[in-house]
Structure 1
């Protein structure tokens, strides 16, 4: 059976789309052709709609990859926050933080307060929103960060790690204060956070007030320098309040009783 001119064009488009790595065109070509014929679309409209599908798919894939590479421990979204249960200062500043202006300005955000008040939820929520808006984000805990820096130094890959660390648009360092460090760990943490100070944004969550940071670093001079460097022109959010997590637990327990 001979191949019609239309079939030849179809085969050529599919081959070109495969070579150029345009999977959405290969997947949706036939339906787009049929739809264009039904509504007598112009060549320009047909081509624009075909390319739009490819463009949309690539943007969605890029968003997914940015979130995956950020290494979030949980997926927490700003939309799922119960804003009314957050501490008053967080309620007041959340709208400003959601604008992500702090990333463009290269300013830090420090979420400081007692456990269970939504610090990590806000931090991850802002990080995911940043990923969706095209920013390069990395999430870690402070203890894991210190261990990773030490391992890189031992493996003589510290410079490569520093280069990556400096280039993230946003680094989220969770759980400052849960574990104290030896002098080496404190110095390495100070050095790496200083690399970003004033140029790139970092979100830090901590359960300790600044007056108690000496318990982490065990060196008054380094503690003062760390606080000065991290808080300069930073957005500081007072997260002291009733436990957001405890409230959710009580509500869950009540639901179990009723079920």
Structure 2
């Protein structure tokens, strides 16, 4: 008994020293299970290592999702596909393969409010995190304010380096407010860094014909549209509002209750 305890103490300490926390916590349980199942050494070792690997993979996924700064968690599995606009329904299967990220191509979800643009964008972003991609979420207004702060604090170059390296950037709410000249130039410059190299998802409630309203510069508007749409996936998200459907369903439940 003392010898067994001594061996277990050594295993525990080795796992602690070489940073195998999952094995450290579960090896005794796994040993007991292996004895009951009468499995060979190779199977026992493989299952023990898989337990550690699974835990590390889950932790890494959770960390990537946390670092992405999503405002809330919305999964693709929670989407009601039949309620999406027709174009989104047709392209849904292709989008969830994340091939556009592998290709470094942009995805633009354009349509009226409430049709699932942000949900789709966040769902794709979370799936990308789960599959090992580095992701960052922000709204366009927040991004522009942040870039202006970085410029005034002389940290813009460091931010550019980070921004350029994300496998996927999700920019929500393009078109809800207009920009001044500085904001438009900063946005154009930073998105140009990623063009053709890394993927950006943009949600917008405005058609491209109306982007001049937010950039207030015809030349800048044309250049921005050209950069963002080159070989991009364009999804028409015009349709009946998701939120309106949910509100009607809720009201009907209240009436029935």
Matching residue within 241, 244, 247 for 1:246: 244
After superposition, give the CA deviation of every residue in 1:221-244 in whole Å (9 maximum; x if it has no partner): 000000000000000001111111
Matching residue within 149, 152, 157 for 1:151: 149
Separation (CA, whole Å) in 2 of partners of 1:99 and 1:174: 21
TM-score normalised by the chain length of structure 2: 0.98
SS in 2 for 1:208: coil
Structure 1 vs Structure 2 CA RMSD: 1.0
Q: 2:29 maps to which residue? A: 31
After superposition, give the CA deviation of every residue in 1:90-145 in whole Å (9 maximum; x if it has no partner): 11111111110000000000000111111001100100111111111100000000
Q: What is the Cα deviation at residue 4 of structure 1?
A: 2.3
After superposition, give the CA deviation of every residue in 1:53-86 in whole Å (9 maximum; x if it has no partner): 1110000001111111110011111111111111
Q: What is the Cα deviation at residue 5 of structure 1?
A: 2.1
SS in 1 for 2:226: helix
Separation (CA, whole Å) in 2 of partners of 1:5 and 1:11: 10
Q: 1:226 maps to which residue? A: 224
Which stretch of structure 1 is more off in the superposition, 154-163 or 19-28?
19-28
Q: 2:104 maps to which residue? A: 106
Q: 1:213 maps to which residue? A: 211
Q: What is the Cα deviation at residue 39 of structure 1?
A: 2.1
Q: What is the Cα deviation at residue 30 of structure 1?
A: 1.2
SS in 1 for 2:185: helix
Separation (CA, whole Å) in 1 of partners of 2:92 and 2:47: 38
Q: What is the Cα deviation at residue 25 of structure 1?
A: 1.1
SS in 2 for 1:178: coil
Structure 1 consecutive aligned stretches of length 4 or more whose deviation exceeds 6 Å: none
Gaps of at least 5 residues in structure 1 are none
After superposition, give the CA deviation of every residue in 1:163-188 in whole Å (9 maximum; x if it has no partner): 11011000000000001000000000
Separation (CA, whole Å) in 1 of partners of 2:21 and 2:175: 48
1:164 pairs with 2:166: no
How many residue pairs get matched?
257
TM-score normalised by the chain length of structure 1: 0.97
